[in-house]
Amino acid sequence: MKTVAILAPMQQELDAVLNAFETQTLIFERYGTKFVLALSGVGRANTAMNTALIIKEHNPDEIINVGSAGGLQPEQKILDIVIPKEVVAVDVDLTALGYEYGQILGGPKSYSTDAKICAELIEASKGCSYNTHTGTVGSTEAFICREEQVLEIGRRFNNRVVCVEMEAFSVAVVCEKFKIPFAVIRSLSDVPAKGEGNENDFNEFLCHASKNAAQLLHTLYKNRKAQS
């Protein structure tokens, strides 16, 4: 039986996954799959530590990072879904040493999510009421809420970053080290690209965005079982 680890940064995001699977148990079997749910914690340090602990304890076959994010494209709307194919750290700058923006010492220019899981997620999102975006997710330790932050990320990464959050980069780094396929699901709780004040949207729409992301996650594995 395949083991899948689901990592959510915040309690609201984890609760949404539990509700989507109609369980209050962090470890359970459903759709011919063993699921291990856990809080990653907010930020890169917490996420790296807890991702590694989950891998050591449960040896998952794949890892899904699920939660909310801020949209960086003006056409995006709150509660849209992002299924990124690439992960970068938007606040890393080692360009003086000859590296690309977002590239850490000894690391690749960016990290790729698993193509097969992404394709399944895109298929699972068809027919839903929200818009779905692909592209690049950018991790940062800062809450992005000012115009100059949005413009700087766009300049550094040629406007290819479609949303920002705080954990996906750590999941990517750890999964690459342990050779574990991973994917990221993010629903937009706010869209800083449309102007300041999105911190209010974040507080209002966090739970709704978490629910959207969790429902897509549930659909992914329900579809897998139906197709097996």
Q: Report yes or no on 113 lying in a domain.
A: yes
Contacts of 123 by beta carbon, 8 Å cutoff, 6+ apart: 223
Domain harbouring 106, CATH code: 3.40.50.1580
In a domain, 201, yes or no: yes
Gyration radius of the chain over CA positions = 16
Query: Three-state secondary structure along 153-180?
Result: HHHHCCCCEEEEECCHHHHHHHHHHHCC
Are 182 and 63 contacting, i.e. CB atoms less than 8 angstroms apart? yes
In a domain, 228, yes or no: no
Which residues in the chain come in under a pLDDT of 50? Answer: none
> How far apart are the C-alpha atoms of 215 and 158, rounded to whole Å?
31
Residue 169: Cβ within 10 Å count: 29
Sole residue written with tokens 């629903």 = 187
Give pLDDT, residue 72.
94
Q: At 157, phi and psi to the nearest 5?
A: -120, 25
Please give the tally of structural domains in the chain: 1
Which structure tokens are listed for 101? Answer: 């923006």
Report the distance separating Cα 120 and Cα 24, nearest Å.
26
Distance CA 9, CA 34 (A): 20
Question: What range does the domain containing 53 cover?
Answer: 2-223
User: What is the model's pLDDT at position 192?
Assistant: 84
Q: What are phi and psi of 205, to 5 degrees?
A: -110, 5
Q: What is the pLDDT of residue 9?
A: 94
Q: Is residue 196 part of a domain?
A: yes
User: Could you give the residue numbers annotated as active site?
Assistant: 13, 190
User: For residue 23, what pLDDT is reported?
Assistant: 95
Q: How far is CA 62 from CA 7, 36, 193, in A?
A: 11, 11, 32
Predicted local confidence at residue 189, as pLDDT: 86
Q: What is the pLDDT of residue 186?
A: 95
Between CA 71 and CA 16 the distance in angstroms is 20
Residue with tokens 């991790």: 139
Query: In this predicted structure, what is the pLDDT of residue 228?
Result: 77
d(CA 42, CA 206): 14
Assess if residue 194 is contained within a domain: yes
DSSP-assigned letter for residue 140: -
